[in-house]
């Protein structure tokens, strides 16, 4: 069974101050049952069916209840009553303290409230938000390309910004022409899009956004795979990016987020492209600690250990910061310890790989992150 693997790898992972390279804001205000349940699922809350009856909901009752002084598996009603009794701020404090994450890289493009409790917070700029603010402010189609570039450069100039992100997955998917669009193409597309006042979903402008991201020179996060019901899952298989990755080789690090159920596809890309990395954030708390090792095992079948990063992708519920970190530590420890016990890898290698995935790979990729804690020496 999972969750029972102890040993030096688990001890090392439990002691490791994680770098969470992709997360969102947390709601610190009190949440009523509909409010909590709506954040517990990536889908809608369905009449007569509680999102607590899901892998994530069961994991909350199993692993978060004790942090609120409740027994394991406390019923949902008891959990929510105790959470309300403590207050949202205290519940958040306890859950965030338990996650053992030292550095948070927060996507501020989609955040209910800023993360305020974590000690070290850095920012990821969502480029679609930059483009949409520019459009809302008014810009002529033939000035759009230069104005977007200038706005993006301005947005990343702030010292707390360590990288950028695109949600192209939500807007067009990845089955795009990989080439950089010409100036004339961008002007023509901007003339179509700007008067609509809608969110950015034009394929030419999404391509232009991705290439502008490359020009910025900072690590680029791409949502891939799993997400809410706004996603068309078959269009967000990261292998659609293969030709674009050929064209962008030698430029910026590309970080494939979430990936499920395409973690093997993402792992392939990370194995063959120097600039590609992946995580299985969001997936970890939705499959729960009980299945985290299985997902991580698929991600690590072929991924070089230098290419896996930790993220929680927690959004809204403080529970998800704790569950993401717990599932990562437990799942990775389980699979690495098994390989040590089977004599497939040496313990020092397992300990190195654990520190790389939980912290050091992120410190290596995000060059603007402070150098403390110092990455372990290779």
Burial class (CB in 10 A: 0-12, 13-18, 19+), 44: exposed
Residues in the chain: 378
Stretch that binds Zn ion, among 67-75, 85-93, 159-167, 308-316 (CB under 5 A): 308-316
Stretch that binds Zn ion, among 33-41, 167-175, 305-313, 324-332 (CB under 5 A): 305-313
298, 304, 307, 311: CA torsion to nearest 10: 30
Nearest-approach distance from CB 109 to Zn ion, in angstroms? 9
Stretch that binds Zn ion, among 60-68, 200-208, 309-317, 319-327 (CB under 5 A): 309-317
Hey, how many other C-beta atoms are within 10 angstroms of the C-beta on 342? 8
Q: In this chain, which of 20, 237, 313, 334 binds Zn ion, going by CB under 5 A?
A: 313
Q: Looking at residues 50 to 109 of the shown chain, list those that interact with Zn ion (rule: CB under 5 A).
A: none
Beta carbon nearer to Zn ion, 12 or 23? 23
Stretch that binds Zn ion, among 112-120, 151-159, 209-217, 307-315 (CB under 5 A): 307-315
Nearest-approach distance from CB 342 to Zn ion, in angstroms? 35
Nearest-approach distance from CB 24 to Zn ion, in angstroms? 6
Note the Cα 331 to chain centre separation in Å.
Answer: 17
Stretch that binds Zn ion, among 231-239, 291-299, 306-314, 342-350 (CB under 5 A): 306-314
Q: Which two tokens stand for residue 341?
A: 């016990």
Integer angstrom CA distances of residue 293 from 2, 20, 113, 183, 310: 8, 18, 31, 47, 13
Nearest-approach distance from CB 189 to Zn ion, in angstroms? 26
Hey, how many other C-beta atoms are within 10 angstroms of the C-beta on 18? 24
Stretch that binds Zn ion, among 73-81, 162-170, 246-254, 310-318 (CB under 5 A): 310-318
Beta carbon nearer to Zn ion, 10 or 126? 126
Per-residue DSSP letter, 238? G
Vertex 309, ends 308 and 315: CA angle to 5°? 135
Nearest-approach distance from CB 258 to Zn ion, in angstroms? 7
Beta carbon nearer to Zn ion, 186 or 209? 209
Nearest to 92 by CA among 77, 73, 112, 107: 112
Beta carbon nearer to Zn ion, 51 or 281? 281
Paired sense of beta strands 161-166 and 220-224, if any: parallel
d(CA 307, CA 361): 7
- With contacts defined by CB under 5 A, how many residues of the chain interact with Zn ion? 1
Integer angstrom CA distances of residue 168 from 79, 185, 199, 311, 368: 37, 18, 11, 19, 24
Nearest to 314 by CA among 99, 11, 128: 99
Hey, how many other C-beta atoms are within 10 angstroms of the C-beta on 190? 25
d(CA 370, CA 256): 22
Nearest to 225 by CA among 271, 172, 266: 266
* Residue 20 interacting with Zn ion (CB under 5 A): no
Nearest-approach distance from CB 107 to Zn ion, in angstroms? 6
Instruction: Name the residue whose CB lies closest to Zn ion.
Output: 313
Nearest-approach distance from CB 280 to Zn ion, in angstroms? 12
Nearest-approach distance from CB 257 to Zn ion, in angstroms? 6
Stretch that binds Zn ion, among 41-49, 98-106, 188-196, 313-321 (CB under 5 A): 313-321
Nearest-approach distance from CB 96 to Zn ion, in angstroms? 17
Q: Are 320 and 20 in contact (CB under 8 A)?
A: no
Beta carbon nearer to Zn ion, 73 or 232? 232
Nearest-approach distance from CB 190 to Zn ion, in angstroms? 27
Q: Which residues bind Zn ion (CB under 5 A)?
A: 313
């Amino acid at each position: 069974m999972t969750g029972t693997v102890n040993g030096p790898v688990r001890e090392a992972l439990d002691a490791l101050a994680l770098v969470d390279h992709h997360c969102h804001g947390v709601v610190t205000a009190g949440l009523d049952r509909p409010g909590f349940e709506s954040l517990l699922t990536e889908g809608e809350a369905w009449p007569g069916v509680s999102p607590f009856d899901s892998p994530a909901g069961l994991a909350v009752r199993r692993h978060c209840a004790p942090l609120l002084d409740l027994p394991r598996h406390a019923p949902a009603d008891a959990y929510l009553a105790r959470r309300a009794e403590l207050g949202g701020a205290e519940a958040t404090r306890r859950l965030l303290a338990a996650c053992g994450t030292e550095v948070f890289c927060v996507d501020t493009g989609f955040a209910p409230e800023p993360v305020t409790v974590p000690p070290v917070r850095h920012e990821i700029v969502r480029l679609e938000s930059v483009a949409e603010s520019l459009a809302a402010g008014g810009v002529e189609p033939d000035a759009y390309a230069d104005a977007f570039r200038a706005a993006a450069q301005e947005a990343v100039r702030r010292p707390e910004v360590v990288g950028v992100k695109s949600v192209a997955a939500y807007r067009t998917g990845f089955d795009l022409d990989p080439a950089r669009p010409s100036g004339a193409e961008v002007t023509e597309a901007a003339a179509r899009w700007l008067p609509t006042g809608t969110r950015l979903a034009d394929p030419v402008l999404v391509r232009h956004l991705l290439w502008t991201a490359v020009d910025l020179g900072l690590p680029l996060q791409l949502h891939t795979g799993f997400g809410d019901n706004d996603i068309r899952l078959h269009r967000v298989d990261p292998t659609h990016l293969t030709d674009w990755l050929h064209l962008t080789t030698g430029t910026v690090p590309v970080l494939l987020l979430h990936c499920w159920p395409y973690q093997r596809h993402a792992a392939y890309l990370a194995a063959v492209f120097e600039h590609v990395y992946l995580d299985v954030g969001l997936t970890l708390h939705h499959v729960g600690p009980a299945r985290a090792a299985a997902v991580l095992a698929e991600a690590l079948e072929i991924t070089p250990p230098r290419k896996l990063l930790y993220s929680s992708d927690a959004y809204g519920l403080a529970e998800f910061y704790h569950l993401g970190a717990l599932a990562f530590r437990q799942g990775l420890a389980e699979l690495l310890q098994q390989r040590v016990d089977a004599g497939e890898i040496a313990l020092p290698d397992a300990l190195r790989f654990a520190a790389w995935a939980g912290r050091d790979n992120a410190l290596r990729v995000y060059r603007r992150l402070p150098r403390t804690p110092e990455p372990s020496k290779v």
